[in-house]
Amino acid sequence: MEQELMRLIAQIKPVSTAWSARAKERLDSLTKPPGSLGRLEELASRYVCIREEPMPALKKKRVVVFAADHGVVAEGVSAYPQEVTYQMVYNFLRGGAAINVLARHVGAEVEVVDIGVKADFAPDLDLVACKVAYGTRNMAREPALTREEAVRAIWVGVERAQEAVSQGVDALAAGDMGIGNTTAAAALGAVFTGRPVAAVTGRGTGIDDATMQHKIGVINRALSLHRPDPQDPLGALAAVGGLEIAGIAGLILGAAAARRPLLLDGLIATAGALVAAKMAPAATDYLFAAHRSQEPGHQIMLDSLGLSPLLNLQMRLGEGTGAALGLGLLEAGLKIYREMATFADAGVSEK
Protein backbone atom coordinates (compact mmCIF):
# COMPACT_ATOMS: atom_id res chain seq x y z
CA MET A 1 0.00 0.00 0.00
CA GLU A 2 2.89 2.38 0.65
CA GLN A 3 3.99 1.99 -2.99
CA GLU A 4 0.45 2.72 -4.14
CA LEU A 5 0.53 5.87 -2.01
CA MET A 6 3.80 6.92 -3.61
CA ARG A 7 2.25 6.48 -7.06
CA LEU A 8 -0.63 8.75 -6.07
CA ILE A 9 1.77 11.36 -4.72
CA ALA A 10 3.61 11.34 -8.06
CA GLN A 11 0.37 12.51 -9.71
CA ILE A 12 0.23 15.72 -7.62
CA LYS A 13 1.50 18.62 -9.69
CA PRO A 14 1.92 22.27 -8.73
CA VAL A 15 -0.97 24.49 -9.75
CA SER A 16 -0.17 26.25 -13.04
CA THR A 17 -0.09 30.03 -12.81
CA ALA A 18 -1.00 30.30 -16.51
CA TRP A 19 -4.65 30.28 -15.56
CA SER A 20 -4.25 33.15 -13.10
CA ALA A 21 -3.84 35.66 -15.95
CA ARG A 22 -7.14 34.49 -17.47
CA ALA A 23 -8.85 34.72 -14.10
CA LYS A 24 -7.46 38.23 -13.50
CA GLU A 25 -8.65 39.40 -16.91
CA ARG A 26 -12.17 38.27 -16.06
CA LEU A 27 -12.09 39.74 -12.53
CA ASP A 28 -10.75 43.10 -13.75
CA SER A 29 -13.53 43.31 -16.34
CA LEU A 30 -16.24 43.21 -13.65
CA THR A 31 -18.08 46.34 -12.50
CA LYS A 32 -15.73 47.28 -9.66
CA PRO A 33 -12.28 48.79 -9.24
CA PRO A 34 -9.60 46.12 -9.90
CA GLY A 35 -8.83 44.13 -6.77
CA SER A 36 -11.48 45.88 -4.69
CA LEU A 37 -13.01 42.63 -3.46
CA GLY A 38 -9.69 41.58 -2.01
CA ARG A 39 -9.40 37.99 -0.93
CA LEU A 40 -12.71 37.02 -2.54
CA GLU A 41 -10.97 37.67 -5.85
CA GLU A 42 -7.97 35.65 -4.68
CA LEU A 43 -10.25 32.72 -3.84
CA ALA A 44 -11.91 32.84 -7.24
CA SER A 45 -8.59 33.07 -9.06
CA ARG A 46 -7.07 30.18 -7.14
CA TYR A 47 -10.15 28.05 -7.78
CA VAL A 48 -9.91 28.70 -11.53
CA CYS A 49 -6.23 27.74 -11.45
CA ILE A 50 -6.91 24.53 -9.53
CA ARG A 51 -9.74 23.43 -11.80
CA GLU A 52 -8.09 24.70 -15.01
CA GLU A 53 -11.43 25.81 -16.41
CA PRO A 54 -12.39 29.32 -17.55
CA MET A 55 -15.78 29.25 -15.77
CA PRO A 56 -15.65 26.40 -13.25
CA ALA A 57 -18.71 25.43 -11.23
CA LEU A 58 -18.87 24.88 -7.48
CA LYS A 59 -22.10 23.01 -6.96
CA LYS A 60 -21.32 20.29 -4.45
CA LYS A 61 -19.39 20.79 -1.21
CA ARG A 62 -18.54 18.17 1.40
CA VAL A 63 -17.07 18.26 4.90
CA VAL A 64 -15.36 14.97 5.82
CA VAL A 65 -15.14 14.48 9.59
CA PHE A 66 -12.66 11.80 10.71
CA ALA A 67 -13.24 10.42 14.21
CA ALA A 68 -10.62 8.55 16.26
CA ASP A 69 -9.39 8.06 19.80
CA HIS A 70 -5.98 8.57 21.37
CA GLY A 71 -4.15 6.35 23.85
CA VAL A 72 -2.34 9.37 25.30
CA VAL A 73 -5.59 10.34 27.06
CA ALA A 74 -4.45 7.86 29.72
CA GLU A 75 -1.85 10.45 30.71
CA GLY A 76 -4.55 12.93 31.80
CA VAL A 77 -4.06 15.52 29.06
CA SER A 78 -7.73 16.29 28.32
CA ALA A 79 -10.58 17.91 30.21
CA TYR A 80 -13.06 15.41 28.76
CA PRO A 81 -13.28 11.62 29.02
CA GLN A 82 -12.51 9.46 26.01
CA GLU A 83 -16.10 8.27 25.53
CA VAL A 84 -17.02 11.75 24.30
CA THR A 85 -15.52 10.83 20.90
CA TYR A 86 -18.02 7.98 20.53
CA GLN A 87 -20.90 10.10 21.83
CA MET A 88 -20.12 12.98 19.48
CA VAL A 89 -20.14 10.69 16.45
CA TYR A 90 -23.77 9.93 17.25
CA ASN A 91 -24.40 13.66 17.60
CA PHE A 92 -22.93 14.24 14.12
CA LEU A 93 -25.09 11.47 12.68
CA ARG A 94 -28.21 13.00 14.26
CA GLY A 95 -27.33 16.39 12.77
CA GLY A 96 -27.06 18.11 16.14
CA ALA A 97 -23.44 19.25 16.28
CA ALA A 98 -22.00 22.63 15.35
CA ILE A 99 -20.54 21.23 12.14
CA ASN A 100 -23.99 20.03 11.05
CA VAL A 101 -25.47 23.49 11.64
CA LEU A 102 -22.71 25.34 9.79
CA ALA A 103 -22.60 22.83 6.94
CA ARG A 104 -26.35 23.30 6.44
CA HIS A 105 -25.75 27.05 6.50
CA VAL A 106 -23.30 26.89 3.57
CA GLY A 107 -25.08 24.09 1.73
CA ALA A 108 -22.44 21.41 2.33
CA GLU A 109 -22.81 17.71 3.02
CA VAL A 110 -21.28 16.15 6.14
CA GLU A 111 -19.63 12.74 5.89
CA VAL A 112 -18.59 11.09 9.17
CA VAL A 113 -15.78 8.53 9.04
CA ASP A 114 -14.95 6.13 11.87
CA ILE A 115 -11.25 5.73 11.26
CA GLY A 116 -10.27 4.82 14.81
CA VAL A 117 -12.93 5.24 17.50
CA LYS A 118 -12.39 3.02 20.54
CA ALA A 119 -15.88 1.52 20.29
CA ASP A 120 -18.14 -0.25 17.83
CA PHE A 121 -21.14 1.36 16.17
CA ALA A 122 -24.42 -0.15 15.03
CA PRO A 123 -24.07 -1.40 11.43
CA ASP A 124 -27.16 0.42 10.11
CA LEU A 125 -25.88 3.95 10.74
CA ASP A 126 -25.10 6.46 8.00
CA LEU A 127 -21.45 6.21 9.01
CA VAL A 128 -18.42 5.45 6.83
CA ALA A 129 -16.85 2.52 8.70
CA CYS A 130 -13.11 2.47 7.96
CA LYS A 131 -11.67 1.64 11.38
CA VAL A 132 -7.92 1.08 11.14
CA ALA A 133 -7.53 0.48 14.89
CA TYR A 134 -9.40 1.07 18.13
CA GLY A 135 -7.56 4.32 18.73
CA THR A 136 -3.83 4.92 18.92
CA ARG A 137 -1.50 3.57 21.58
CA ASN A 138 -0.14 5.86 24.28
CA MET A 139 2.59 7.80 22.49
CA ALA A 140 4.18 8.76 25.81
CA ARG A 141 5.10 5.08 26.29
CA GLU A 142 5.20 3.47 22.82
CA PRO A 143 4.64 4.48 19.16
CA ALA A 144 1.08 5.65 18.58
CA LEU A 145 0.78 3.59 15.39
CA THR A 146 2.74 1.12 13.34
CA ARG A 147 3.97 2.41 10.02
CA GLU A 148 1.51 0.09 8.29
CA GLU A 149 -1.40 1.52 10.31
CA ALA A 150 -0.31 5.06 9.43
CA VAL A 151 -0.27 4.22 5.71
CA ARG A 152 -3.65 2.47 5.93
CA ALA A 153 -5.17 5.50 7.67
CA ILE A 154 -3.77 7.87 5.05
CA TRP A 155 -5.22 5.65 2.35
CA VAL A 156 -8.66 5.84 3.98
CA GLY A 157 -8.47 9.61 3.46
CA VAL A 158 -7.32 9.18 -0.14
CA GLU A 159 -10.29 6.92 -0.84
CA ARG A 160 -12.73 9.39 0.75
CA ALA A 161 -11.42 12.08 -1.62
CA GLN A 162 -11.63 9.77 -4.61
CA GLU A 163 -15.18 8.74 -3.70
CA ALA A 164 -16.18 12.38 -3.28
CA VAL A 165 -14.83 13.34 -6.70
CA SER A 166 -16.58 10.37 -8.31
CA GLN A 167 -19.81 11.68 -6.79
CA GLY A 168 -19.33 15.16 -8.26
CA VAL A 169 -17.96 16.99 -5.22
CA ASP A 170 -16.23 20.20 -6.30
CA ALA A 171 -14.66 21.27 -2.99
CA LEU A 172 -13.76 19.43 0.20
CA ALA A 173 -13.26 20.45 3.81
CA ALA A 174 -11.47 18.49 6.53
CA GLY A 175 -12.91 18.01 10.01
CA ASP A 176 -12.02 15.93 13.06
CA MET A 177 -13.29 14.47 16.31
CA GLY A 178 -11.05 12.82 18.87
CA ILE A 179 -10.53 13.47 22.57
CA GLY A 180 -6.79 13.98 23.09
CA ASN A 181 -6.05 14.93 19.50
CA THR A 182 -4.60 18.38 20.26
CA THR A 183 -1.80 16.53 22.07
CA ALA A 184 -0.94 14.53 18.95
CA ALA A 185 -1.33 17.59 16.72
CA ALA A 186 0.97 19.69 18.91
CA ALA A 187 3.57 16.91 18.88
CA LEU A 188 3.51 16.82 15.08
CA GLY A 189 3.59 20.62 14.99
CA ALA A 190 6.78 20.63 17.05
CA VAL A 191 8.33 17.96 14.81
CA PHE A 192 7.59 19.66 11.49
CA THR A 193 8.03 23.33 12.43
CA GLY A 194 11.03 22.87 14.70
CA ARG A 195 9.43 25.06 17.38
CA PRO A 196 9.47 24.18 21.09
CA VAL A 197 6.58 22.09 22.38
CA ALA A 198 5.47 24.91 24.71
CA ALA A 199 5.08 27.23 21.72
CA VAL A 200 2.77 24.93 19.76
CA THR A 201 0.71 23.50 22.61
CA GLY A 202 -2.61 24.97 23.72
CA ARG A 203 -5.43 24.23 26.12
CA GLY A 204 -7.45 22.01 23.78
CA THR A 205 -10.79 21.31 25.40
CA GLY A 206 -10.12 23.90 28.13
CA ILE A 207 -7.58 22.43 30.55
CA ASP A 208 -6.30 24.35 33.57
CA ASP A 209 -2.76 25.66 34.09
CA ALA A 210 -1.48 22.57 35.91
CA THR A 211 -2.84 20.22 33.25
CA MET A 212 -1.40 22.45 30.56
CA GLN A 213 2.10 22.10 31.99
CA HIS A 214 1.57 18.37 32.36
CA LYS A 215 0.45 18.15 28.72
CA ILE A 216 3.62 19.91 27.56
CA GLY A 217 5.66 17.51 29.64
CA VAL A 218 3.89 14.47 28.17
CA ILE A 219 4.57 15.67 24.62
CA ASN A 220 8.21 16.38 25.40
CA ARG A 221 8.52 12.91 26.89
CA ALA A 222 7.03 11.33 23.78
CA LEU A 223 9.35 13.26 21.48
CA SER A 224 12.39 12.32 23.58
CA LEU A 225 11.32 8.68 23.51
CA HIS A 226 10.73 8.40 19.75
CA ARG A 227 12.88 11.19 18.28
CA PRO A 228 10.69 11.46 15.16
CA ASP A 229 12.48 12.63 12.02
CA PRO A 230 10.69 15.47 10.15
CA GLN A 231 12.21 14.13 6.93
CA ASP A 232 10.30 10.87 7.47
CA PRO A 233 6.68 12.07 7.69
CA LEU A 234 5.23 8.56 7.83
CA GLY A 235 7.56 7.66 10.68
CA ALA A 236 6.70 10.83 12.59
CA LEU A 237 2.98 10.27 12.06
CA ALA A 238 3.30 6.71 13.35
CA ALA A 239 5.31 7.75 16.40
CA VAL A 240 3.19 10.62 17.76
CA GLY A 241 0.26 11.15 15.40
CA GLY A 242 -3.38 10.15 15.24
CA LEU A 243 -5.60 8.16 12.94
CA GLU A 244 -7.84 11.13 12.13
CA ILE A 245 -4.78 13.25 11.41
CA ALA A 246 -3.57 10.57 9.01
CA GLY A 247 -7.01 10.44 7.38
CA ILE A 248 -6.94 14.19 6.84
CA ALA A 249 -3.46 13.96 5.31
CA GLY A 250 -4.81 11.36 2.89
CA LEU A 251 -7.88 13.46 2.09
CA ILE A 252 -5.53 16.32 1.17
CA LEU A 253 -3.38 14.10 -1.04
CA GLY A 254 -6.43 12.61 -2.76
CA ALA A 255 -7.97 16.02 -3.34
CA ALA A 256 -4.75 17.44 -4.78
CA ALA A 257 -4.28 14.47 -7.11
CA ALA A 258 -7.83 15.05 -8.42
CA ARG A 259 -7.37 18.84 -8.70
CA ARG A 260 -9.91 19.72 -6.02
CA PRO A 261 -9.45 22.42 -3.38
CA LEU A 262 -9.47 21.51 0.29
CA LEU A 263 -10.44 23.86 3.10
CA LEU A 264 -8.47 23.33 6.30
CA ASP A 265 -10.05 23.71 9.70
CA GLY A 266 -7.92 24.28 12.80
CA LEU A 267 -5.00 22.69 14.62
CA ILE A 268 -5.83 19.05 13.90
CA ALA A 269 -6.51 19.48 10.19
CA THR A 270 -3.40 21.62 9.82
CA ALA A 271 -1.29 18.93 11.49
CA GLY A 272 -2.59 16.61 8.77
CA ALA A 273 -1.60 19.23 6.20
CA LEU A 274 1.96 19.30 7.59
CA VAL A 275 2.21 15.55 7.03
CA ALA A 276 0.72 15.79 3.51
CA ALA A 277 2.95 18.72 2.55
CA LYS A 278 6.07 16.88 3.68
CA MET A 279 5.06 13.92 1.52
CA ALA A 280 3.97 16.03 -1.47
CA PRO A 281 5.04 19.71 -1.28
CA ALA A 282 2.82 20.64 -4.25
CA ALA A 283 -0.25 19.63 -2.22
CA THR A 284 -0.15 23.02 -0.47
CA ASP A 285 -1.23 24.64 -3.75
CA TYR A 286 -4.65 23.04 -3.25
CA LEU A 287 -5.10 24.13 0.38
CA PHE A 288 -7.05 27.07 1.77
CA ALA A 289 -6.69 28.01 5.44
CA ALA A 290 -10.28 28.73 6.42
CA HIS A 291 -9.55 30.32 9.78
CA ARG A 292 -7.04 30.83 12.55
CA SER A 293 -7.79 28.81 15.65
CA GLN A 294 -7.22 30.10 19.17
CA GLU A 295 -4.74 27.26 19.63
CA PRO A 296 -1.31 28.99 19.62
CA GLY A 297 0.31 26.31 17.50
CA HIS A 298 -2.12 26.81 14.65
CA GLN A 299 -0.64 30.07 13.36
CA ILE A 300 2.86 28.60 13.64
CA MET A 301 1.77 25.64 11.50
CA LEU A 302 0.05 27.89 8.95
CA ASP A 303 3.18 30.03 8.69
CA SER A 304 5.22 26.89 8.08
CA LEU A 305 2.86 25.94 5.23
CA GLY A 306 2.82 29.48 3.81
CA LEU A 307 -0.95 29.78 4.25
CA SER A 308 -2.86 32.88 5.32
CA PRO A 309 -6.15 32.28 7.17
CA LEU A 310 -9.35 33.78 5.79
CA LEU A 311 -11.05 34.31 9.16
CA ASN A 312 -10.15 34.84 12.80
CA LEU A 313 -13.29 34.25 14.85
CA GLN A 314 -11.56 33.01 18.03
CA MET A 315 -12.86 29.50 17.36
CA ARG A 316 -11.30 26.34 18.81
CA LEU A 317 -13.94 23.64 18.40
CA GLY A 318 -12.69 21.58 15.50
CA GLU A 319 -15.16 19.27 13.73
CA GLY A 320 -14.57 21.22 10.50
CA THR A 321 -16.57 24.23 11.70
CA GLY A 322 -14.12 26.86 10.46
CA ALA A 323 -13.59 24.93 7.24
CA ALA A 324 -17.33 24.96 6.56
CA LEU A 325 -17.36 28.74 6.80
CA GLY A 326 -14.39 28.77 4.44
CA LEU A 327 -16.38 26.79 1.89
CA GLY A 328 -18.98 29.55 1.98
CA LEU A 329 -16.32 32.18 1.31
CA LEU A 330 -14.85 30.17 -1.56
CA GLU A 331 -18.30 29.88 -3.12
CA ALA A 332 -18.91 33.60 -2.60
CA GLY A 333 -15.69 34.45 -4.44
CA LEU A 334 -16.57 32.17 -7.32
CA LYS A 335 -20.10 33.62 -7.56
CA ILE A 336 -18.57 37.09 -7.89
CA TYR A 337 -16.36 35.75 -10.67
CA ARG A 338 -19.18 33.99 -12.53
CA GLU A 339 -22.25 36.12 -11.92
CA MET A 340 -21.17 39.76 -11.68
CA ALA A 341 -21.73 41.91 -14.75
CA THR A 342 -18.77 43.18 -16.75
CA PHE A 343 -18.37 46.84 -17.62
CA ALA A 344 -19.32 46.00 -21.20
CA ASP A 345 -22.41 44.01 -20.17
CA ALA A 346 -23.69 46.72 -17.83
CA GLY A 347 -22.82 49.71 -20.02
CA VAL A 348 -20.72 51.19 -17.20
CA SER A 349 -17.72 53.35 -18.04
CA GLU A 350 -14.34 51.94 -17.06
CA LYS A 351 -11.55 53.81 -15.38
| pLDDT digit string, tens, across residues 61-106 | 999 999 999 999 999 999 999 999 999 999 999 999 999 999 999 9
Mean pLDDT of 325-349: 95
pLDDT of residue 122: 93
Asked if 137 and 145 touch (Cβ cutoff 8 Å), the reply is yes
pLDDT, tens only, 138-180: 999 999 999 999 999 999 999 999 999 999 999 999 999 999 9
Catalytic residues: 319
pLDDT of residue 239: 98
The CATH number of domain 2-56+336-346, selected from 1.10.1610.10, 3.40.190.290, 2.30.22.10, 3.40.140.10: 1.10.1610.10
Mean pLDDT of 40-69: 98
pLDDT of residue 346: 87
Spell out a b/e string for 315-349, using b for 16 or more CB atoms within 10 Å of the CB, else e.
Answer: bbbbbbbbbbbbbbbbbbbbebbeebeeeeeeeee
Lowest average pLDDT, out of 1-5, 182-186, 242-246, 311-315, goes to 1-5
Mean pLDDT of 187-198: 98
pLDDT of residue 4: 94
Domain 61-331, CATH: 3.40.50.10210
pLDDT of residue 17: 85
Count of CB atoms within 10 A of residue 127's CB? 19
Residue ranges of domains in the chain: 2-56+336-346, 61-331
Asked whether the predicted pLDDT for residue 349 surpasses 90, the reply is: no
Output the CA angle 188-191-196, nearest 5 degrees. Answer: 105
pLDDT, tens only, 313-331: 999 999 999 999 999 999 9
Closest CA to 297 of 181, 209, 214, 210: 181
pLDDT, tens only, 250-271: 999 999 999 999 999 999 999 9
pTM of the full predicted structure?
0.97
Contacts of 44 (CB under 8 A, 6+ apart): 23, 27, 333, 334, 336, 337
Residue 42 parent element (H or E): helix 38-51
